[in-house]
Amino acid sequence: MNKKTLFIVISATLLLLAVCSISISAVSASIENPTVIITDYQIYPEILMPGDTAILTITITNTAEAGHAAETEVRRVIHTPPLITTEEKDKRVTP
């Protein structure tokens, strides 16, 4: 490898590292100041067995200063899959 090629490879590597470090710092800054936060959650019933159904309630708070709704509640019904044996699982797998 001649000196010119070596210089180009080193310069490109340094440029790539600089761009990556700038991108990483921008991402970490946005993580430090989130504008949407999960402030509360509830699950009923608290203990689930395979095949049970539960209700999950999540409260999401918008901390941004824009004129949007400050708090939203989301409810979802969760169905846990039934318990299956290893033999049943093997039957479902197709080669």
Least confidently predicted of 1-5, 54-58, 76-80:
1-5
Q: How many structural domains compose the chain?
A: 2
Beta partners for residue 75, in sequence order = 57
Task: Give residue 48's domain range.
Answer: 34-81
Q: Is the dihedral of CA 79, 80, 85, 91 positive or negative?
A: positive
48 and 38 assigned to the same domain: yes
- The CA R_g of the chain, rounded to the nearest whole Å, is 25
77 is a domain residue: yes
22 and 59 assigned to the same domain: no
Query: What pLDDT shows up at residue 19?
Result: 67
Region 41-58: what's the mean pLDDT? 83
1 and 23 assigned to the same domain: yes
Q: Compute the 3-state secondary structure of the chain and give helix, strand, coil in percent, each to the nearest 5.
A: 40, 30, 30
| Token reading at 78 | 């969760």
pLDDT band at 52 (very low <50, low <70, confident <90, very high): confident
Average pLDDT score, the chain: 71
CA distance 47 to 36: 28
88 is a domain residue: no
18 is a domain residue: yes
